[in-house]
Amino acid sequence: MTAIIGIKAYSGAKEIIFAADSQMTDVEDNRIPVSKVTGFNKIATGKDWAMGLAGIYCPPLRSFFKNLRSESSSSNLIENAVNNKYFAEVNELNTKIAKKYGDDCSAHFLLASSKPEVGMYFVDKMGNVLERPVYEDETTDYLTIGSGSDSARSYLEKRMDTKYLDQEGISHANALRYAYEAIEQTDDLYTGGPIEIVVLKQDSVNSYGAKLRRAARKAVRTELENIIKESER
């Protein structure tokens, strides 16, 4: 339950822009969503990969994401998954989730990797690594997953009209703008909280969520001071 967006951008070389909200829906043993947790970073990153999750915030998913972030072998794990077009650990994860919480709680992912080359993929609940979900009719330069994906996709379809695109595809700047705005504008009940942005290039992976959060806090404080001055008149 979320909104994760991936966009292929071109700034001389191909790069991948990920954006995600930070609201997660928690679940207890009765399989009923019981609370919303904000401030959760849904995009794990390594030196040459990024992976965004959509799913119910349950213990198996927490452990999977924690291990993915901390294990030094994650880069090899993900490169093998891309090469084999199959992510066995995702299949194992969702088998555990389905057994305890039901199949509706299964997780799926967007994956970006610079090995063997810069690429973006959809990882379904069975662990299949695909260029796009099977329910999408054609391959595009963007992918969306999660409960807010319909709203995000509708927004991107309008923005991706050819008059907005550079000759070789969407620019780095516009990809960042559209990814952020697509998350920001969704009215999905299960999407919310601060927005995370990740940029993957051939030789780097950078996260900008913390910088965005600092900027938002600074803007709020500035406006608060303006309100204080205005209300004192």
Phi/psi at 216 (nearest 5 deg)?
-65, -45
| Residues 6 or more apart whose Cβ sits within 8 Å of residue 128 | 85, 86, 87
Query: Given the structure tokens 């009719």, which residue do they identify?
Result: 137
Convert 157-194 to b/e letters by CB count within 10 Å (16 or more is b). eebbeeeeeeeebbebebbbebbbbbbeebebebbbbb
The answer to the question of residue 226 being in a domain is no
- pLDDT for 27 equals 58
**Beta-bridge mates of residue 53:** 109
The answer to the question of residue 17 being in a domain is yes
Residue 151 is part of a domain; what is its CATH number? 3.60.20.10
User: How many domains does the chain fold into?
Assistant: 1
The answer to the question of residue 224 being in a domain is no
The answer to the question of residue 230 being in a domain is no
DSSP string, 144-175: EESTTHHHHHHHHHHHTSGGGSBTTB--HHHH
- pLDDT for 149 equals 87
Cα angle at 177 between 171 and 179, to 5 degrees? 95
The pLDDT tens digits along the chain (233 residues) read 689 999 999 866 789 999 999 887 665 555 555 455 566 789 999 999 999 999 877 888 888 988 888 878 899 999 999 999 999 999 999 999 998 888 778 899 999 999 989 999 999 999 999 988 776 666 678 899 988 888 998 898 888 765 455 445 788 898 999 999 999 998 887 788 889 999 999 999 999 988 998 998 999 999 999 999 999 87
The range of the structural domain enclosing residue 133 comes to 4-207
The answer to the question of residue 193 being in a domain is yes
The model's pTM: 0.87
- How far apart are the C-alpha atoms of 57 and 77, rounded to whole Å? 23
The answer to the question of residue 171 being in a domain is yes
- pLDDT for 23 equals 83
- pLDDT for 167 equals 47
Q: In what order do the strands lie in the sheet with 14-20?
A: 142-145, 4-10, 14-20, 196-201, 204-207
Q: Which H helix or E strand runs over 7?
A: strand 4-10
The answer to the question of residue 222 being in a domain is no
- pLDDT for 49 equals 96
The answer to the question of residue 231 being in a domain is no
